[in-house]
Amino acid sequence: MNLSSQSRSRLVIAATFLVALVLSILPWPVWTEQFRPDWVALVLIYWCMALPGRIGVGSGFFAGLILDVLYGSMLGENALAKSLIAFLTVHFHLQLRMFPRWQQAVVVLLLVAANNLLVLWIKHLAGASPSTWSYITPGIVSMLIWPWLFVILRDIRRHGNIS
């Protein structure tokens, strides 16, 4: 019983990550690309905050690695960025839980912006030159989505009795 609930909750968490991964490669018109929220980061932040003992740097790393494969980018790029997000979230999860929702959203903005800056920086080091691309817009959209996503994921967690 215990084992089955354990594995079931693991399945639910994996499913939320899967949905996030699909959403992050879902085709949209090109001009909307820069407004695409960082779905994987959002889901990762939520689970790191809710279950820091189970979801952490390792999960972030693997989610980022899958993202690298799907994007066709250099392996490890997003893995490193997502590990950073997971690390920061787990490290501050107690404070984050106490924050009001809007303040959490601001932290999400900062985390996603840090994620994109890190990726941009790695790309520059690797010799690519993405000339003009705002790293802040996905962060802003992620920030706006956070309160709603938080409620959805919390309901999923409570409904599935995941802890």
Partner 1 sequence: MLQIAGLQIRVPSNLTRFVLFALLSVALMLLDKRGHHLQNIRAGLTVVFAPIQLIAAVPVRAGGAVVDFFRGDTAQREELERLRKERPLLFARLEKYEALAAENAHLRQLLGTSALVADKALAAELLEVASEPFRRTIVIAKGAKDGLYVGQPVIDAFGIRGQVTEVGVYQSRAILITDPDHAIPVQVNRNGLRAVAFGTGDADTVSIRYLTASADIREGDLLVSSGLGGGFPFGYPVAKVVKIVNNPNESFLDIVATPVAQLGHHKEVLLIWPSKSTTPPAARKPEAPLKPAATKKPPEARQPAPSKPPAASPPTAPTAAPTGPAATPKPEPTPAPPSPPAGEPMP
Indicate whether 71 belongs to the interface with partner 1 (CB under 8 A). Answer: yes
Residue 149's H or E segment, with its range, is helix 137-159
Say how many residues touch partner 1, by CB under 8 A.
58
Measured from the Cβ of residue 39, the count of other Cβ atoms closer than 10 Å reads: 23
Please report, as residue ranges, which positions from 101 to 130 form the binding site for partner 1 (by CB under 8 A): 116, 119-120, 122-123, 126, 128-130
Indicate whether 40 belongs to the interface with partner 1 (CB under 8 A). Answer: no
Place of tokens 């309901």: 155
How far is residue 17 from each of residues 1, 3, 88, 108, 125, measured CA to CA in Å?
24, 21, 19, 17, 29
Indicate whether 31 belongs to the interface with partner 1 (CB under 8 A). Answer: yes
Helices 77-91 and 39-50: crossing angle in degrees, nearest 10, is: 30
Applying CB under 8 A, among 27, 98, 100, 159 the residue interacting with partner 1 is: 27
The Cα–Cα gap between 115 and 117 comes to 6
Applying CB under 8 A, among 13, 16, 77, 150 the residue interacting with partner 1 is: 77
**Which parts of this chain interact with partner 1 (CB under 8 A)?**
18, 21-22, 24-31, 33-34, 36, 51-54, 56-58, 60-61, 64-66, 69-77, 79-80, 83-84, 86-87, 90-91, 116, 119-120, 122-123, 126, 128-133, 135, 138, 163
